[in-house]
Structures are given as structure tokens and as C-alpha cells.
Chains A and B, each alone.
Chain A
Amino acid sequence: MLQQVNAPVVWNRPLTGDYWLIEVEAPTIAGPLAPGQFVNIRIPGLTPYLRRPFSVYRVSPDRRRLQVAYKVIGDGTRLMTSALPEGGVCDVIGPLGRGFKLPAQAKHIAVIGRGIGIAALPTLVDAAADRGIAIHALLSARTTPNLVGLDIFSERGCTVITHTDDEPSVAQVTDHLIGLDKRHPFDAFYVCGSNRLARAVHALAERRGVPAEIAMEQHMACGFGDCHGCVIDVNLDREGKETAFREVCHYGPVFDTWEVVHARA
């Protein structure tokens, strides 16, 4: 059940690179939240006007608190660093959208994140690790400090492979992925933050006949399906014969890669 809560801010502080981490007390959202779902945060006042959508980065073990890792890039996220101080309240709507599906028989999965897309993965990693699923995490970003969440991926026993644009070019993420998949075939793939990676992952998953999912982003006004503002063009069949506009906040943000990787693209 969708909730709007004035959640007490436990803390709000720099994380790594351009990222800040905010933790709020919101048991009615954190409790039922599924991996890959998101929240919509209001910054007090009328400018900025719209809420800002963010993946939930982590949920506390007692499922009373949730964290959002946000990259400071524009007016809204810049204001979030000062307007939502520890001890204050944060107006949050959630849990929103549809999250990741972990197939019942999955034993070995690959999570592939780039940039802010990485912030959507820890809740999935927590759920998979709790089920004893082996996880390879392939993470990339512009710079090393912006590889957010490395501690979590290690703590949950993932095999982590990183790539940053500032490294003298070593193998690309996709090369690693194909190599790994040959040695230990993955049962499912999850990708966030890069359409280029999504296409590569999709091609691999299709060849192997295993599911692949992607978390999408689109500009949003409401985040809860009312405004029809956040549409993307989605394939209605695997061949891409028929497409339709679908709201990312309602039908996603997680889609099967075949829905969003278009043959013509």
C-alpha cells in the first residue's frame, strides 16, 4: 500500500565521490519495500516544485529505516544536502513501482550497474544473498570515488569487478561478462544505469535463454501513475512488432530487457 510519510531524518551526509546518503525512519515504506522499488522525495517549498525519484539503496535489518544514495547533480539534489538535516523530517512517498524478480531456481546471477544505476542494486543483492545465490557484480563509473556501494557488495559476498573511465583501458565490462558467463553460466542478469550495457546484456541473455531485467529512468511528475508523464516506448512482444507507451513509475522502473531494447536502436 502506497504511503506518504513525514519521515524523521536519522542522518544525511556525504557518502563517496559526488554522492550523499540519507537515512530516514519510515517503517510503513521500508517494511513492504521490494528490491528495485523506489521512493519520491519532496524538497520543502515550491522551488524545486516536483518531487525527486530515487531507488532505495538499503533497508535496515529491522525494516524500519531506509536509505537513499543520491548523486548531487542539480538544484534539487544540491538542496537535499542542506534542506533535509538530521533531526528534521523528509516527506517521502513509497514504495513505488515494480522491482526485480529473482527466479525461484536462480543459483548464480550477474548484477551490472553504471553510475547512479549502481544505487538500485544493493536491495537486490541483499535479497539474493539472503537466499544463498552467488552474485557477480560488475560496476562501472566515471571515477573511482563514484563507484558507490563497494562495501555493501563485498560485505554480501559478491565477486566484484570494477571499471572506471579514468583507468587506462583494461577489459570492458561486457568482455568480463561474456567471459564469466562462459565459465559459470548466469541464471539471470540485472542491469541499471546504461542503455549500452543493457543491449549487450540483452543479447547475451537472449542467446542463453535466461531472464534479464533493467531498471529504467524517466523524468517524472508524480511517481505514482497519475500524470502519465513518465512514459517510454516499450515492446509489447519479443520481436518488437508492436510497441506502446508505458509509465516507468507504474509498469517499471524494472522492465525485462526485451521490452526496452528496441530492434531498430
Chain B
Amino acid sequence: MPAPNLRVTIAGIEMKNPLTVGSGTYGHHGNFSQFFPVETMGVLVPKTVRNYKWPGNPGPRVLETTAGLHSSVGIPCNTWEHFVAHDVPILKTLKLPIIQSVIGRTEDEYVEIVERCDSLNVFAGIELNLSCPNLKQGGLDFGYDPDSAYKLVRHVRSKTRLPVIAKLAPDYTSLLKVAKSVEAAGADAISMINAPRAMCIDHVTRKPMIGNKIGALSGAAIKPLAVYMVWEVYRAVQIPIFGMGGVTDFRDVIEFMAAGARAVGFGTINYVDPMALPRALGELTRFLEENGIADVNELVGSAHEDRPALVVPERVVA
């Protein structure tokens, strides 16, 4: 059998494989290749940028939980000039498509940062972070509210020709409404999930344990929640989905794709096991070969009722 096809296309962005990273979980200070060549993945999503300098939240910012990470970093950001002078030249040298994640406190700030990113001619797409759980302003103001999300995406859509991806918050009540409204407003794809809000309280002091008090939960612990939400959104919209939330290995990649994701992001696991993504790519390829799946796109949505189950040959141990 010829090598299986790993190429996927999302919002017109051609990826040589469906693997990517969650914004903010891979690379720092413009350095993206500490453990493996960044070109291993299908598309790079660097950390969210703002159009102004921002210190982020006070420490402690990270705390371990059972199979997860409780964090409240708050998207620290250097100046736009610093981004252009230091990060962009490095991004320009990379030989893969890059989707830049952006955030603002207001609709106008989002539009401004999108226009600035567009003008650099470096990016293949823009991800609107509508879902950072750790901010007092911006992000969730849009991510929880279908009307604000609609207005924002529509406004951004009118200002850039780049594909626009909306990164959604894992909110049970508003999720489907927001997904449908960003689709109606012209978003080209959805990215989900951002980390849900969470809290840890010290049983001795009886006070929240991280500096911002409220934080996020990410990592293996949230995977079933994320898979479920991708499954629901896949049924509700036509636009493709970048799925993420607790991915650890190639089995999780298949799980997210079966739920409906066309590409899958590695997040917190990059901190724990920085070689997880390249290893999963090899194992995914082998899985497709061993199961006679010619095209990785066949996995997308395969968990839904109208799709046949794979008859697993007995020799295969996944």
C-alpha cells in the first residue's frame, strides 16, 4: 500500500499533516525549535499577541493538578515594535504556514491587531482568541456572547483577506450559539477548546492558590470534555475545526479527528513531553498504514452515527 495521505486543508491553508500546537504552548522569545524542527507540524500557531505591552498575571502562575495544569499566565506581551523586530524575522525563516493568534480588550483593538498582522505578509491566517480564561477584559467577553462574537468576526472579516479562525471557549451554554454565529459572520474555521476556567484552594489557608485566584485547567484531565465539545460543534457547523484539549499521543489525535476535528493541537503536553508531537506523527502514520486507511481525512467525523466503524484487523494493537 502506498504511504497514506496526511495532507489536510483548512480554510484554504494547506497543511502537510493535521498536527499543530495550541497557541501559547510552544516556543518562546521567537525561539521555536528547541527540541524538533518546527516544520514537522502542519501549521504553527504562535502565542497570542496584543498591540500593546502587557505584564501578565502575578505569580504563582502554574500549579499541578491531577493529570493536568492549573494556570493563569494572562498573556504577557512585549510591544508591537518588539514583535516586529524580534519575532517576525524568525517567523519569516520558517518553512510552514503560520496562523497568528491575536487578542484585544475591545472590538477595535482586535481589528487593529488583525490589520497590523495582515500588513506583515507573513501569516497564512489569523486566529481570534475569544476565550482566554485569565483576563478581566477581552477574550471571554466575546467568547461567551454570540452577538458580540458575531459583530467582532464580521468586523474583522471586512478588514482582512486572510482566513479567520475563531478560538472558542468551552462554555456549555453558549458554545453552539457562538459557533454558529462566528460561522454566519464569515469565520473560515473554529479552533477549540481553550482551557476552561478553574480554581484550586489551599485547604490550610483556605485561599485560592495562584496569583490571579481564577485560572485555567488544561492537559490530559480535560480531554473528554474537549472531545465532547468538538463532537457537538461538528454537528452544528460546516466550517472545519482545529481540535485540542488534553492531547497526549496519537490515539488522542484520532479521537479528536473522529469527533470532527480536521487538525489537532498539542498544548500542555509540549511542556511535559516536548517530543510528543513528532512521536505522534510517526505513530499516526503507522496506524493508518496498519489499518489500511489511505487518507487521514477519512478519520474526520468518523465517530458520528452516519459513518461506518472501522473493522479492526485482529493483528492490530492500537
B248: Cβ under 8 A from any A Cβ: yes
How distant is the Cα of A91 from the Cα of B25 in the complex, in angstroms? 20
| Cβ A4 vs Cβ B62 within 8 A | no
In whole Å, how far is A218's beta carbon from the nearest beta carbon of chain B?
A: 6
Q: Chain B contact residues: over half helix, strand or loop, or mixed?
A: loop
Q: Do A50 and B272 contact each other (CB < 8 Å), given the known contacts A219-B60, A231-B61?
A: yes
In whole Å, how far is B246's beta carbon from the nearest beta carbon of chain A?
A: 10
Q: Do A221 and B274 contact each other (CB < 8 Å), given the known contacts A49-B69, A229-B73, A231-B61?
A: no
How distant is the Cα of A220 from the Cα of B29 in the complex, in angstroms? 17
| Cβ B59 vs Cβ A218 within 8 A | yes
The stretch of A40-48, A56-64, A160-168 in contact with B is A40-48
Across the A-B interface, how many residue pairs have beta carbons closer than 8 Å?
A: 95
| Cβ B73 vs Cβ A4 within 8 A | no
Chain B hits for A250, CB < 8 A: 28-29
B90: Cβ under 8 A from any A Cβ: no
A104: Cβ under 8 A from any B Cβ: no
In whole Å, how far is A212's beta carbon from the nearest beta carbon of chain B?
A: 23
| Cβ A233 vs Cβ B27 within 8 A | no
B265: Cβ under 8 A from any A Cβ: no
| Cβ B275 vs Cβ A50 within 8 A | no
| Cβ A219 vs Cβ B29 within 8 A | no
B26: Cβ under 8 A from any A Cβ: yes
Chain B hits for A18, CB < 8 A: none
Q: Do A218 and B273 contact each other (CB < 8 Å), given the known contacts A225-B29, A228-B28, A245-B55?
A: no
| Cβ B62 vs Cβ A2 within 8 A | no
In whole Å, how far is B142's beta carbon from the nearest beta carbon of chain A?
A: 23
Q: Do A222 and B271 contact each other (CB < 8 Å), given the known contacts A47-B66, A48-B64?
A: yes
B4: Cβ under 8 A from any A Cβ: no
Chain B hits for A226, CB < 8 A: 25-28, 270-271
Chain A 238-258, CB-CB to B under 8 Å as 1, else 0, gives 000000110000100000000
How distant is the Cα of A119 from the Cα of B287 in the complex, in angstroms? 45
A230: Cβ under 8 A from any B Cβ: yes
| Cβ A51 vs Cβ B272 within 8 A | yes
| Cβ B28 vs Cβ A225 within 8 A | yes
| Cβ B67 vs Cβ A47 within 8 A | yes
Q: Which of A4, A46, A48, A220 is the one whose CB lies under 8 Å from B35?
A: A4
In whole Å, how far is B32's beta carbon from the nearest beta carbon of chain A?
A: 10
In whole Å, how far is B58's beta carbon from the nearest beta carbon of chain A?
A: 7
Chain B hits for A42, CB < 8 A: 272-273
Q: Do A218 and B56 contact each other (CB < 8 Å), given the known contacts A42-B272, A93-B274?
A: no
Q: Do A219 and B25 contact each other (CB < 8 Å), given the known contacts A49-B68, A228-B76, A244-B55?
A: no
Chain B hits for A244, CB < 8 A: 55
How distant is the Cα of A15 from the Cα of B255 in the complex, in angstroms? 45
A232: Cβ under 8 A from any B Cβ: yes
| Cβ < 8 Å to A, chain B residues 13-38 | 24-29, 31, 34-35
In whole Å, how far is B224's beta carbon from the nearest beta carbon of chain A?
A: 14
Chain B hits for A219, CB < 8 A: 59-64
Interface residues in chain B, defined as those with a beta carbon under 8 Å from any beta carbon in chain A? 24-29, 31, 34-35, 55-56, 58-69, 71, 73, 76, 219-220, 248, 268, 270-275
Going nearest first, the 4 A-B pairs with the smallest beta carbon separation are A229-B62, A222-B271, A221-B62, A225-B28
Give 21 A-B contacts (CB < 8 Å), ordered by A residue: A2-B35, A46-B220, A49-B220, A51-B272, A219-B59, A219-B64, A221-B62, A221-B268, A221-B271, A222-B274, A224-B34, A224-B274, A227-B73, A227-B271, A228-B73, A230-B61, A230-B62, A231-B61, A233-B58, A245-B55, A245-B58
